[in-house]
Structure 1
Amino acid sequence: MARQEPPAIETDVATWLLHHSVPASAKAAVNPVAASPADIEAGHRLFQQKCEVCHAYDGGGKTEIGAGAYPHPPVLRQLLPLLSDGEVFYHVRNGIRNTAMPAWSMPDRQIWQLVAYMRHLPIVASLTPVSQATPAGAHYVGSKACASCHHDQYDRWSKTKMANVVRDPKIHPEAVVADFSKPNPLVTFTVKDVDFVYGSGWKQRYFHKFGNTYIPFPAQWDITHKTWSKYHVPDKGGDWWAPHYPDPKGDNSGRPTGPLCDGCHSVDFNITTSTPAEWNVGCEMCHGAGSAHVAHPTRTNILNPARMDYVRANDVCIQCHSQGQPLKNPINGKYYDYPVGYHVGLNLSDFWKLEPHKLGELTFTHFPDGTAHKNRMQGNDFVQSVMYERGVTCFSCHDPHGTPNQAILRAPVSNICLSCHGPNTQNGPHAVSIEAHTHHKAGSAGNECVSCHMPRIEQTIADVNVAAHTFKFITPAATADLKIPNPCTNCHKDKTTAWAAEALVHWNDRSPWRMAN
């Protein structure tokens, strides 16, 4: 009966026949198309036109036709690493006997472009639970132990902000970006007093050693504006932990980094000894203790978020990119601002709760609709999104090993969304072109997906904001009713909310009911 799942032996035999049906000369064929963005995009368009109806946009095969085909289409992301480019070309050109895979009579160049794109399919996690566990007895060995085998990933990671969250300026004087040469009443310390430099993106803070912990100095460097500003969390009206660490002097002397920072700025921070296995966000923060894998490298003795379900995969990032509290605070008499006891592979919800919010209220952490109000809340935003529900992960868009793109995106910001979305595709937008959807000219800021779906409205320092991660469009009506910044006037700063609302009235492809809320 076709609907029955085939037994394992049938699958194994079919797979063997698949591999051995391709002539050796075809297997050895090399893709003559350079993996340029233009060729990959051309292949993407072909995939949307020819393949998506069965294989789905991510190659997972979860479509109405794919689900009804017997045998089911394979999960391409799992199959493709086992095939050479020549084998993929051969199967696209000739089809696969006794399956629903047809032969395609396209020009060779187009098939090679399709092959190039299939090496860049979107990364989407399983929606059904998939757990992994660190091997019993494994211990932390440090990121340098990974370099000899994973030299490309290590080299790229070592240049990222995560690999350089905190640095000793005596060892890395280049880490200091602030101007200490000019007197400033806020700066009551010198660079020689600094034991740790924190941050290099939007702001930089300076820590000094105090017992077995560190204390932040009360001034920070605004990297965007190249100026000093005061750094002190108020005892009331700010972070939840501030009342538990009163600081009447206003110099942060009552605010140790051990319980408030270090768990996210290091690997396996030991709260008893106040020591980490490794400073900074190292390999084992995401892959778990690596001693067993270093001793005998196999796929099964190291954790990989890419093979986890969407909850556990995203938890690896959410553990630090979220605002919340440990479930068991206080712990040994101290209040912690990170999920003490959590390691990759465990359930984050057993250790951590996200900051609560009551709809309609504007708070230190949230806008009235629940969108984050401040930085380090990407996880709070993302779990509200439709993309999270569909299995998209943080690393579907970001490569934590490092890329030359902004925010370590896997593709430039103007292209990253189009790796899953496209005009009149399964995921939308449902319009004849991107320009028809955005009502902005090609190449303009308003034509980029992130301008409307990821507005920079979440404060990190002064007037420097980072992008929201709910991916919903915030209407001008929401601005008028709830005082949530909308993307229209976020770009058109010389215009009013009423102007933006009136403009959207004339976008006939938008529901007037949705735009009114």
Structure 2
Amino acid sequence: MLRPALCGVILGVGVLAAAPASAQAPRLPGYVGSDACVDCHDDAFEAWSGSHHALAWTAPTPDNILADFDSTSFSLNGEVSKFERTGDTSYVTTPGPDGKDTRYPLAGVVGIEPLQQYLLETAPGKLQSFDVVWDTEAGRWYHLYPDQDLSASDGLHWTGPYKNWNARCAECHATDYDKAYDPLSATYSSSAAEIGVGCEACHGPSEAHAEWAELQDNFDHAAWTEVDMKGLTLNFDALDAATEISQCAGCHSRREPFGDRSPEPGTPFHDSYRLALLREGAYHADGQIQDEVYVYGSFLQSKMYDKGVRCTDCHDPHAARLKADGNAVCTQCHSTTGNNRFPTLPLADYDSPEHHFHPEGSDGAQCKSCHMIERVYMGTDGRRDHSFRVPRPDLTVEIGTPNACNDCHTDQTAGWAAQVLDEKFPDSAHRGPHFATTFAAARVAPATQTSALMDIARETSMPGIVRASALDLLGLASTPDTADRMEPLLGDEDPLVRAAAVSVQRGAEPVTRVQRLANLLGDPVKLVRLATVREFLDAPPMRLPDRLQRNLETAMSEWQDGLSARADFPETQMILGGLGLTMRNMPAALAAFGEAVEQDPQLEDAWVMMIRIQAALGDTAGARATVRRGLIKNPDSAILRQYLLELQP
């Protein structure tokens, strides 16, 4: 199938060549690699060199590979994968994109514990994350998704778009990563300054700093741009908590990137990514982790975030491990002496049976057991919820959300756990109304919870991600009245809230919506600008003042660039197809939906849209052909079989 420049077809995206810079002009520093840091920062380098950051992505050398490649094999659902080594090269033989057994040399190694994953190159420059991985603790091969029986033609197969390393994973496992996807040829020319999360992934490009270290007083600060007097592009000693957290959050979050390469370290999170809100399937209704959402969205819900706690208060960023063992990491602050950085913190002995009511040293006596529930992802990798919540078994009784008590006391009911907490903490302020009950009901029928959702969205004492999630649900059932009442939140100080408030304005009359949103086209935060400009795609024709028109054009260009950067995502092609329909550009819509099923043949909605467009255009023969092609890829699809009957001659 030919792959047209779909973004260009629909959006008319152009490319401008940059003018050559003056040879005398100050220049941005480049990347020099982590090895350049060791002479001056040997302690930090030594801690980093064996860390999960350093080993996030390594070359497939014998020293880096932990799995048994001595003629071993793994079989699941009739699909056999074989592992062997010849000399220093390790190989995997497994069904490839065409379903035929193919022998692949390892192209990369991912991680170190509790599992190690391997990368295979299925086409020049195209890396895929292989789903059979090595359990480093049990010493065995296992499949990440043992309940799925997937053929090579399935989008979720290891050869499919959702397991593509270049697009889905590499940015957070590399330093200064550039995806470099060409939609015309559907090829990658990806590059990185360094594989693995090197020093400069967090501290920024260090060419100028290395020169300062060499020249000291003779360092010419004026020769560089965007650096401090020591040549640093990012000085963590000078960062406030929110800025430091934002730097970590770029990778430790569930989010959608706006670009196709690593943002410059120090770029604000909401200028680079769209954070996943507390949506069904990702988070439970009370905000607890459900799917693999990583850390940032949870931490934003916590009182610790609200009070200014930062990642490095608990974690050693170089060794990528906790700064203390067991409860000691918590009692840095939660103790009878407290921490003078947090003067409102109650002084008490929390690491005692009087608080946790469990034998000292037991699992139940660990702070994390009650306040940081653990969920296992990727088969063996335990991740902890960073919302630091108080257990609420009463919510389990009411709406079915999990709780920490019954994680351990599996032989007891949630009602039992709720009664125990009532007895142990009779005056607790951590009971009573919770946004979870509203969210649980709104996920089923948002229109029934309009008033309660609006109250949550307006409550400034609530975490911003909770308020934004309430607005997100409101947007599903917005009315003119709802839009009127939520208009003030378009000016909220939290960009997450402003961006989510935009969607609620879909309930307003079109002209009113444009008038209310126009100023947000120039919002200082990219997340808000992109949320706003999408609402102008189907706006009624009207003349905007010159300033707003320029903002509209700039924001539209940013949105187009984001779509172009994600042209290898089937989800993006679905958006482009919808945009083609909105603009009545049926050839472009067909091309985008066609590219979507080329990338993911199981996207039934894309097949259906192509069939409907072809039928509406009078191309019945083409619609029938599309149905037949769709059924080859989805033989059990009821809706495609229905279209086959309806389109019979």
TM-score category, normalised to shorter length: 0.5 to 0.7
The equivalent of 2:31 in structure 1 is 140
The equivalent of 1:161 in structure 2 is 52
Gaps of 5+ in 2: 1-25, 84-89, 92-104, 181-188, 217-228, 435-649
| Cα distance in 1 for residues equivalent to 2:349 and 2:107 | 57
Q: TM-score, with normalisation over the residues of structure 2?
A: 0.50
Q: Deviations over 1:472-498 (max 9, x none)?
A: 113111222333321112122333222
The answer to whether residue 348 in structure 2 is matched with residue 441 in structure 1 is no
Whether the 8 Å CA contact 2:334–2:348 is kept in 1: the answer is: no
Alignment of 1:305-316 (within 5 A): 305-316=236-247
Whether the 8 Å CA contact 1:429–1:437 is kept in 2: the answer is: no
Q: Deviations over 1:11-68 (max 9, x none)?
A: xxxxxxxxxxxxxxxxxxxxxxxxxxxxxxxxxxxxxxxxxxxxxxxxxxxxxxxxxx
Distance 1:342 1:267, change over 3 A: same
The equivalent of 1:469 in structure 2 is 386
Whether the 8 Å CA contact 2:119–2:127 is kept in 1: the answer is: yes
Offset at residue 424 of structure 1 (A): 7.6
| Cα distance in 2 for residues equivalent to 1:440 and 1:233 | 37
SS of the residue corresponding to residue 172 of structure 2 reads: coil
| Cα distance in 1 for residues equivalent to 2:132 and 2:344 | 46
| Cα distance in 2 for residues equivalent to 1:227 and 1:351 | 38
Alignment of 1:9-408 (within 5 A): 136-169=27-60, 171-178=61-68, 181-186=71-76, 187-190=80-83, 191-192=90-91, 193-209=105-121, 210-231=123-144, 247-248=154-155, 250-254=157-161, 255-272=163-180, 273-297=189-213, 300-302=230-232, 303-327=234-258, 340-358=261-279, 361=280, 363=281, 365-375=282-292, 377-402=294-319, 408=321
Offset at residue 213 of structure 1 (A): 2.8
Whether the 8 Å CA contact 1:197–1:207 is kept in 2: the answer is: yes
The equivalent of 1:411 in structure 2 is 324
| Cα distance in 2 for residues equivalent to 1:167 and 1:513 | 46
Give, as a single letter, the amino acid of the residue that structure 2 aligns with 1:324.
R
Q: Deviations over 1:403-447 (max 9, x none)?
A: xxxx61111122011111113855555545532222233333222
Q: Deviations over 1:335-378 (max 9, x none)?
A: xxxxx4522122121110111234xx4x1x21121222234521
Which one has the largest radius of gyration?
2
SS of the residue corresponding to residue 164 of structure 1 reads: coil
Q: TM-score, with normalisation over the residues of structure 1?
A: 0.62
Gaps of 5+ in 1: 1-134, 236-244, 332-339
The equivalent of 1:490 in structure 2 is 407
Offset at residue 471 of structure 1 (A): 0.5
Q: How many residues align?
A: 354
SS of the residue corresponding to residue 196 of structure 1 reads: strand
Offset at residue 183 of structure 1 (A): 3.1
SS of the residue corresponding to residue 346 of structure 1 reads: coil
Whether the 8 Å CA contact 1:475–1:515 is kept in 2: the answer is: no
SS of the residue corresponding to residue 166 of structure 1 reads: coil
Please tell me the root mean square deviation across aligned C-alpha atoms, in Å. 2.9
SS of the residue corresponding to residue 420 of structure 1 reads: coil
| Cα distance in 1 for residues equivalent to 2:165 and 2:137 | 25
SS of the residue corresponding to residue 370 of structure 1 reads: coil
SS of the residue corresponding to residue 263 of structure 1 reads: helix
Give, as a single letter, the amino acid of the residue that structure 2 aligns with 1:301.
G
Give, as a single letter, the amino acid of the residue that structure 1 aligns with 2:249.
I
Distance 1:285 1:482, change over 3 A: farther
Give, as a single letter, the amino acid of the residue that structure 2 aligns with 1:455.
I
Pick the structure with more strand per residue.
2
Pick the structure with more helix per residue.
2
| Cα distance in 2 for residues equivalent to 1:260 and 1:233 | 21
| Cα distance in 1 for residues equivalent to 2:58 and 2:82 | 17
| Cα distance in 1 for residues equivalent to 2:359 and 2:156 | 54
Offset at residue 198 of structure 1 (A): 1.1
| Cα distance in 1 for residues equivalent to 2:231 and 2:144 | 43
Distance 1:309 1:150, change over 3 A: same
Whether the 8 Å CA contact 1:165–1:265 is kept in 2: the answer is: yes
Percent identical: 29
| Cα distance in 1 for residues equivalent to 2:138 and 2:283 | 25
Q: Deviations over 1:230-277 (max 9, x none)?
A: 346999xxxxxxxxx984582424442111111111000122341100
SS of the residue corresponding to residue 184 of structure 1 reads: strand
SS of the residue corresponding to residue 383 of structure 2 reads: strand
Give, as a single letter, the amino acid of the residue that structure 1 aligns with 2:157.
G
